[in-house]
Structure 1
Amino acid sequence: MRILQIINNLSTGGAEKLIIESIPLLQKKGIEVDLLVLDNTFTPYMKQLKELNCCNIYSLGTGNLYNPFNVFKIIPYLKKYELIHVHLFPAQYWVAIAKILSFSKVKLIFTEHNTSNKRMQNFIFRTLDRNIYRFYNKVICITNEVKDVLIKYCKFKSKDIIVIENGINLDTIINSKPLLKNQINNEILESDKLIIQIAGFRAQKDQKTVIRALKYLNEDVKLVLVGEGDLMDDCIELADHLGLGRRVFFLGVRIDVPNLLKTADLSVVSSHWEGFGLAAVEGMASGKPVIASNVPGLSNVVQDGGVLFEKGNEKELAKIIIKFFSDNDYYNKVANSGLEVSKRFSINFMIEKQLSQYKDLFKSGYEK
């Protein structure tokens, strides 16, 4: 069985991280898996996957992700593989259209990573989505909440959608060693209390609420933000405007995330919406307490192993942080609960379920 995974690029994000962690594991299971990216911008994730030398990595170039001509560049790849596994929009559209135009018999799987997107608010895109999804033989949802939204939104038959929760490499995080805090930045003292958020700076994420929460916290509480994106400059401007510039540290993309999580005292996942919340599971696996926005897709992952706060409510977030830093027993209780919950999300469970779907679809000869 030859499988091609297709994604927009390997920038910072949960879907992208799953790609670089799952492909080597699938290869070890004897499945030939390659990767096609629409945009080959060289990122730390791209570097990491290339260094593993575990698959062929193809690219359509560094052009516009939304260029419809990507459809014609994708068509030749449909002829080389038995199954195509697609992640994220607009790759989702271009692959489906490429199959339509080429009359290809290749089987398609799409993983839906979110409970919400801007297309849902637009009548034209809602209509397009309902048709595009139907060209996929199977749609994998990363939580039951994602599945419920998709069934309602696209009027799917439930048999066309399955749930496979995301997974993480627990051993990598659990066995990672903390850094010295001044190794992150020499303005951070070992005595400082360190909060971390791992997330791209885009509309879905809400680093601004975490930054605003610092106003209600002692001077020795500092914030590390890992990731990059279009909204990073806005966050830098907000931190400076609030006089917090020396307490907020923007690290960009890092591949030593497990070490950073072990170094921090608290992990925050502040989002406007989520499909799953991979960063929350990683935070729990690090043995540190996790605080997360109470939003669909994230709340069900964190509720038994962390603490939820109202989306966008920096005062409530600050109160929770203060409680953690003032009550050591509470801190340890939540941290231990989170570590236990994280064990449910081993990437090995995810790989086995994913592999089962590949084999069933390949054997079935099912074609829409």
Structure 2
Amino acid sequence: MKKIVHITNDLQRLGGVQRLLVDLMTLQKDNFQFEVILTRGENEYVDELNQLGVSVYHKRDIGLRGVIKRMNAADLVHAHLFPSLYIALLTSTPVVNTEHNPHYRRRDILFVKTMESILYRKYAKIACISEGVQTDFLAHIKVDPSVTEVIHNGINLSRFPQIAKPYPENQAKFKLGMVGRFAAQKDFKTLIDLMALLDDSFELHIAGDGELRAEFEQYSKAIKVDHRIIFHGQVNDVPSFLDSLDVYIQSSFWEGFGIAVVEAMAAGVPCFATNVSGLNNVIDSPYLFEVGDAETLANKVQELKASPDLYQAASAYVVKQAIKFSISTSADKYTRIYNSCINTTQ
């Protein structure tokens, strides 16, 4: 059985990249043997990966030489995220790279942009998780476009009910929510500003942690909406969290794809999302709002709450939309790429 090594920064529970890797390996376990190398953070998927028989190695434990040794012993290396994607190029093994975001600020530096145009020629294949990611990547990095391929992220649909939610009648609170790390990519300010435009019948639930959490907790207090916002911190049971919501909102400055939105859709929760590349490849325009436009978002949310018919139509729509993004489709495409790259070098 051919060995694939995934090299990435960490395996945090609420990360889209991390969830993708675990789901891919689950579906591909009968075709390949897998190892994971982490270059920075922790493994929060210990139990699931132990069940799959996947060994996880930390760069801090085995050192750079150990990382290179493990990659050289594989048939293919699959790289994710900076700086792991650079480290992957130290191996003599064929490397596939996945581009997970539409733009990286490091590429605004001319030297880095030029260097990556050279380094990226060493990858056997470059997967882009959405059309927007592919377009932006090719605009910045000068490689042969035929080396790139769009492979949408997918989710394990079986983890979610895939049934339209009934209109929430006779509830004390209409619950809005979002899943995501408190990092620069996520526009939590607009989400909190939204609460200042809604009455006390609305409640906001945020699942996630991160370096900016305290800043936004303080902001919610400053604009006097903290009594209607629940910061849940790390949530391991995402399906249950989503099931508790009436509406899901993905408020982001940028996204490569938007796995969190697809999970909410598969849970049958009506969704709204920022109109940015990655998210607008997942959900249609009636459910999009512009970055920072809390007022338009408030109007959309209020309209949905006021109309059982609109609510039920939105819920039926998201369930139908989620089916397009099954992880099995993603796994089939990656399996084809793996086999093609391995066979080419033999």
TM interval, shorter chain, is over 0.9
TM-score (normalised: structure 2): 0.93
Aligned counterparts, 1:1-368, within 5 A? 1-11=2-12, 12-27=14-29, 29-43=30-44, 46-61=45-60, 71-96=64-89, 98-99=90-91, 104=92, 106-174=93-161, 191-303=172-284, 307-365=287-345
* 1:42, distance to aligned residue in structure 2 (A): 4.8
Q: 1:116·1:274 contact (CA, 8 Å) conserved in 2?
A: no
* 1:132, distance to aligned residue in structure 2 (A): 2.4
Seen in structure 2, the aligned counterparts of structure 1 residues 50 and 365 have a Cα distance that, compared at 3 Å, is: closer
Q: 2:162·2:266 contact (CA, 8 Å) conserved in 1?
A: no
* 1:336, distance to aligned residue in structure 2 (A): 0.5
* 1:39, distance to aligned residue in structure 2 (A): 2.9
TM-score (normalised: structure 1): 0.87
In structure 2, the partner of 1:183 is none
> What is the letter of the counterpart of residue 96 of structure 2?
I
In the alignment, structure 2 segments of 5+ residues that lack a partner are none
In the alignment, structure 1 segments of 5+ residues that lack a partner are 63-68, 179-188
* 1:297, distance to aligned residue in structure 2 (A): 1.3
Q: 2:26·2:52 contact (CA, 8 Å) conserved in 1?
A: no
Structure 1 Cα separation of the partners of residues 175 and 187 of structure 2: 18
Equivalenced residue count is 340
Structure 2 Cα separation of the partners of residues 190 and 331 of structure 1: 15
Seen in structure 2, the aligned counterparts of structure 1 residues 251 and 48 have a Cα distance that, compared at 3 Å, is: farther
* 1:70, distance to aligned residue in structure 2 (A): 6.2
Structure 2 Cα separation of the partners of residues 132 and 208 of structure 1: 37
Q: 1:150·1:156 contact (CA, 8 Å) conserved in 2?
A: no
CA deviations on 1:15-67 (whole Å, 9 max, x unpaired) are 0111122112110x331111111135353xx33434534311111138xxxxx
* Structure with more relative contact order (C-alpha pairs < 8 Å, separation 6 or more): 2
RMSD value, Cα: 2.1
> What is the letter of the counterpart of residue 194 of structure 1?
K
* 1:312, distance to aligned residue in structure 2 (A): 1.2
Greater alpha carbon shift after TM alignment, 254-263 vs 189-198: 189-198
